[in-house]
Structure 1
Amino acid sequence: MFSKNFSKKNINLKEKPKYLKNIPSLRFKEYNAEWKLQKLGDISSITTGSKNLKDNDPNGKYPFYIRSKNIEHINSYSYDGEAILIPGDGKIGKIFHYVNGKFDYHQRVYKISDFKNVEGKFIYYYLQKNFLHHALKHSLKATVDSLRLPVIKEMKIYFPTLDEQKRIVSLLSKIDTKISLMEQKYDVIKKSKKIVLQQLYPENISEVKVKYFKINGM
């Protein structure tokens, strides 16, 4: 379902013609060509980091990406540029970091970078949609405990022209911004409720006195 701000009409989308393959169900009206297909390892460089959790410094200058949604800090950087970071174990297919700048990363975190003929952020959104399904296909269980480099490299990526990629990224980035603003509003409202709740109800004085008497042996 599209909201009023992101309706098909407002963002100029059209539905997929039945005779075309390798294209999404919706796309911008001015584009018609089929999407290309390549493996992720052929359009990017994929490596793991060399740092451990002990290298973390809360006062560090640079972001330090570990196997978590949380971003730590460190006083070194091993890469400067655009990259996607995903954990090699843990919550595989659920954690994706996009970064453009100086950073360091854990030895069990994969860095996907040096993109060839594709927008890094286009791949970032593509992985959010498809990577978990891809990883599960290469797992013997219903979950993915760990991830090996060949599995990432072999992932098939469908992608359009750079111009269309930029249009897709722009739209999804706007939606992300809206989500972030709504989450901030939610946090403010939640804190406000807590304050009002504390003010609307009196303290349970009798319970406080009972605890005090018990502590003092009375």
Structure 2
Amino acid sequence: MGEIPEDWAVALLGTVCTSFKTGKLDANAMKPDGEYRFYTCAKEHSYIDKYAFDDEALLVSGNGANVGYVHYYKGKFNAYQRTYVLSSFLADVIYLKIYLERKLAERIRVEVNAGNTPYITMDTLTDMSIILPQKEEQAAI
């Protein structure tokens, strides 16, 4: 990780984000004219008629060509069964998004479960070390 300033902390993502869930729907549940965003493992969101989440969240693609791709959304939405929904943050959510965008790809490269479709597990996220500057600095980043 390199040298970390004394007033920064290192924590597992599972302790900084206290809610990890997945969606429950198949990707084909999308409705082009739906009212709510529907996050799958694609880089672009789709739409759906019903929401399952009403929160500020980071949504991480759990499989496929875009495995590890991170979305941020605040509001009502739904998610595909292989999309991880992270919420209830104890650190600045935008800082965490940027951190994951920069560091998760390397973790996935080392840990990805290959086969016909590459995928990650919940532990890939919850057990990931996160470097945390003070809150003011997180917000500034």
TM-score (norm 1): 0.59
Amino acid at match of 1:119: D
Which of 9, 13, 24 matches 1:40? 13
Q: 1:82 aligns with which of 48, 56, 62?
A: 56
Aligned length: 136
Pick aligned residue for 2:67 from 77, 92, 102: 92
CA contact (8 A) 1:48 1:109 kept: yes
Alignment of 1:1-218 (within 5 A): 21-23=3-5, 33-44=6-17, 45-90=19-64, 91-93=66-68, 95-116=69-90, 118-139=91-112, 145-168=118-141
CA RMSD of aligned residues (A): 1.8
Instruction: Please say which structure displays the higher CA radius of gyration.
Output: 1
Write out per-residue CA displacement over residues 39-87 of structure 1, whole angstroms, 9 at most, x where no aligned residue: 0011112111001123211111100001101210011111112111111
Unaligned runs of 5+ in 2: none
Q: Which residue of 2 aligns with 1:10?
A: none
The structure whose residues are more often helix, as a share, is 1
The structure whose RCO (Cα within 8 Å, separation 6+) is larger is 2
1:130 partner SS = helix
- Contact 2:7/2:134 (CA < 8 Å) preserved in 1? no
TM-score, normalised on structure 2?
Answer: 0.89
The answer for unaligned runs of 5 or more in structure 1 is 1-19, 24-32, 169-218
- Report % sequence identity: 29
